Amino acid sequence: MKAVVMAGGFGTRIQPLTNSIPKPMLPIMNRPMMEHTIMSLKALGITDFIVLLYFKPDVIKEYFKDGSQWGINITYVLPDDDYGTAGAVKKAQEFIGKENFIIISGDLVTDFDFQKIFDYHNSKKSKLTITLTSVDNPLEFGVVIANKEGKIEKFLEKPSWGEVFSDTINTGIYIIEPEILDYIPNNENFDFAKDLFPLLMRKGIDLMAGYAQGYWRDVGNPESYRDVYEDLLSGKIKLNLGGEAVKYIDGVLICEEDNTLDESVEVIGIVVIGKNVTVKKGTKLNNVVIGDNVTIGSSSKICNTVIWNDVVIGRNAKLDGCVICNNTHIGKNVTAKSGLILAEGCELGELVMVEKDVTIWPDKVIEDASIVSRSVILGSKYKNSIFENGMVIGKANVEISCEMATKLAEAFGAQLPVGSTVLVSRDNSKSSRMLKRAFLGGLLSSGMNVLDYNAVSSPVMRCSLSSHEEYGAGVHVNQKLDDPTSVVITFYNEEALRINTEVAKKVEKAFFKETFRRVDYSRIGQIYNSDHQKEYKEYQKGMEDLLKSHMFKCLDCRVAVDMMHGMASEVFPTILNDLGVDHIMFNAHPDERRLENINTLTKSTNDDMSAVIKALNLDAGFMIYPHGQRLEMMCDKGILLSKQSALYAVLTLLNMEAENLGVKKRVFLPTWAADLVTFNHLEIEYGQYANFKSEKMKSYDLVTTGEGNYAFTEFSTHRDSMYATLKILEMIVNHHVKLSEIMETMPRFYYHSFQVSCKQSQKGKMMRMFLEDAKDKESSTLDGVKIWLDKHDWILMIPDQYNDHLNLYIQAKNQIAGEKIHQIYTRKIEEWMAS
């Protein structure tokens, strides 16, 4: 048998540890982690290794050479492009031969019994066996379910929490028969999980699940790298460390030759030392791994720390829970609290204090007596990833600095052809203005032309973007509504939809690797400014062409509209006036101070509008949230409609319109929306809204999250509270109904959402337990786990993507039934978490 070692990854998420070395070469107990894997397989008799390279291949080849030093034979395969996991293995087909082989990643740490995995594969006469294990956090892996016979029934590659249906994941360790390679196309980007496995299942080839017991960790980010050391030093996993073991009173020293340790050095726990290391008088080492050519000054205290090669640490240093990379210099009297990652080539001056969880990126100099309380170059939030659903969110001028905004723009611009035009807009906040200006510079340097809208509502910018083919992308910068100290940068594609996960990852990779495209001076982009007049006219005309605008002028209908100090106030009052909508306007002027507390603003808005509606007998009230996307409604009796009531009202109005036209209208709702009420003239599809394209959006008449966001696709494929207001008002007056009358027809049933605290490490387990609970019931894993307990009664559990809690939704025909479901599953969740 031969072994194929995947060693071509970029190591983006584990930056800056992989600044100059590929991830498989990260040291684990002073040996590359890939070496530990190779030695484990060699112990079973495998001596022929095929190593697939891509990123920084020379580092790996220079270290391992032909493998003879380890008593093995290594063949290197370097594809000329990124062909995906399976596509890369296809490139090695000629070296694999006619026997089965094992595929394993070079960037994991494990003590699996590989012989048991081989034996299982042979006993099942399997064509392809996927090794599985259970983990606390399955988000970064492929989640797998197999039946009792071991046949894999379902899997999902790198799911969101809403898609996780088990904590049993694909380890990336495969035993494969050679004929399987014939199903992989040549010179195409082809992935095992996304492409090959579904293809084999469609062909009727059984994929077998080999469950493995023991330790397994994918070293995907700096935190997991530290966790591996914690597990090693606490004895959870044992590796062959080499060297001579010397027992101390409170610990063990495993030491190579040519080292100088003062006799007063105190060793606690496990201490591993490489070659040419000097540790001076009075130093205490507690669970420390030290590489080669390291000097540690006197009276230092080093605890739970990993030190790579060629490092100098001054006297009286105090380091706790740190990773110190190559070629660094730490001055005397330096204190670093738990979580420091000091990248290569850095220098810390004397008396420097580094606070908890700080990352200092490569080649930085920290001056004497500095107090470093946040990461240098990047905020700590961006150690692993930047984007959340096409948005970058962070503390303004802290996590998202001008430097970061410029680099982010350079990374984004590098994904577009030189000469493309990008629309850029912002709200009125000072932080948005500052960061937008920094962002423009990055776009220009990558050869982008910029149409700068300055302060404008995002729906107006998106409308302009979607209606002009010559525009390639859009970016909007705004202050975060519920946190005025934070800013949101939202990226849109040419269809004015948020960029999808694939594009976001490309931008992220360019950002971390700094693979920017800084064009020649003659190709630097230009900025074109707009006074909004053209865009506002196009936006208004689009509405007038669709709406029966004349009806507003001749009907006795008057509404209240609150602009909530948002950017929509620049255009929407004019539109209402020109359409002849009789209205009373609130808060139609910018006020940054009032937007600093959105909860207070919302309460005063609701109170004022309710009083005015009741006093003046108005027909309805509409609250346009500051960014022009979210809409709330108040009925003619001055009662604020809940999210569920507002959704019911809109669907009822749309159903009336469809009936009047003699057609069926299509609606897309999220899986958590209530579905007890049926509408005869609506076709409602429930699902997960993710990475939609314009074509799919346009197949529906309405797309809504049920959170006050409505996209009436006759006008736009994105959320727009201004058009939604006019469309809803048009349907109200066209069908001669009032919102209060619609509310009276709404069936009374139980619908409730709530959150349950849940650590990240238990989310996968909760998904698995819910799925097991659903086995004898009707269920769905389209988004989270949804269990039907009766024809109309169900519970849906979706782990929150970014926070430590579960989102639960319950629908039942009455309050008693709903509260009973709530009690039953609250108790079950408590038991599952405790087990």
Whether residue 559 has pLDDT greater than 80? yes
**CB–CB of 609/602 below 8 Å?**
no
pLDDT in tens, 264-278: 999 999 999 999 999
pLDDT at 144: 85
The pLDDT score that the predictor gives to residue 550 is 57
Percent above pLDDT 90 for the chain: 67
Strand pairing category for 250-255 and 244-247: antiparallel
Region class of 221: left (phi > 0), else alpha (psi between -120 and 50), else beta: beta
Token code pair at residue 616: 């003046």
pLDDT at 795: 96
Contacts of 123 (CB under 8 A, 6+ apart): none
Residue with tokens 């079950």: 828
Give the chain's mean pLDDT: 90
> What's the confidence (pLDDT) of residue 378?
47
More reliable by pLDDT, 416 or 554: 416
Distance CA 798, CA 821 (A): 16
pLDDT surpasses 80 at 805: yes
d(CA 82, CA 95): 19
User: Residue 755 to residues 139, 141, 512: CA-CA distances in angstroms?
Assistant: 20, 25, 34
57-75: pLDDT as tens digits: 899 999 999 999 999 999 9
> What are the φ and ψ backbone dihedral angles of 433, each rounded to 5 degrees?
-60, -45
> Pairing between strand 2-7 and 48-53?
parallel
Residue pair 169/144 in contact (Cβ under 8 Å)? The answer is yes
Q: What is the pLDDT of residues 573-601, one digit of tens each?
A: 999 998 889 999 999 988 887 887 788 88
Q: Give the tens place of pLDDT for each residue, 503-537.
A: 998 998 888 778 899 999 999 999 999 988 889 99
Provide the pLDDT for residue 379: 37
Q: What's the pLDDT score for residue 551?
A: 64
3-state helix, strand, coil in the chain (%, to 5): 30, 30, 40
Q: Strand pairing of 702-704 and 665-670? A: parallel
pLDDT at 752: 93
Angle at 760 between CA 759 and CA 763, to 5 degrees: 90
Q: According to the model, what pLDDT value does residue 381 have? A: 33
Please check the confidence at residue 455 and state whether its pLDDT lies above 60: yes
pLDDT tens, residue by residue, 383-409: 346 888 899 988 888 778 899 999 999
Strand order, beta sheet including 365-366: 260-261, 277-279, 294-296, 311-313, 329-330, 347-348, 365-366
Spatial distance between the Cα atoms of 116 and 119, rounded to a whole number of angstroms: 5
What is the three-class DSSP state of 462?
Answer: helix
- How many angstroms separate the CA atoms of 758 and 833, rounded? 8
Q: What is the pTM of this model?
A: 0.69
Query: What does the alpha-carbon distance between residue 167 and residue 828 come to, in Å, rounded to a whole number?
Result: 18
Q: What 3-state class would DSSP assign to 278?
A: strand
User: Binning pLDDT at 50, 70 and 90, where does residue 165 land?
Assistant: low
Residue 371 tokens read as: 């107090």
End-to-end CA distance of the chain: 41
**Does the pLDDT value for residue 382 go beyond 60?**
no
Helix crossing, 458-467 with 533-546: angle to 10°?
80
Note if the bond before 573 is cis, omega within 30 degrees.
Answer: no
**pLDDT tier at 549, thresholds 50, 70, 90:** low
**So what's the pLDDT on residue 761?**
74
Q: How confident is the model at residue 8 (pLDDT cuts 50, 70, 90)?
A: confident
User: With contact defined as beta carbons under 8 Å apart, do 628 and 726 qualify?
Assistant: no
Q: Determine how β-strand 631-634 pairs with β-strand 665-670.
A: unpaired
Least confident piece of the model among 160-164, 361-365, 447-451: 160-164
Q: Which long-range contacts (CB under 8 A, 24 or more apart) does 43-48 make?
A: 44/114, 44/115, 44/118, 45/1, 46/1, 46/2, 46/3, 46/72, 46/102, 47/71, 47/72, 47/73, 48/2, 48/3, 48/72, 48/73, 48/75
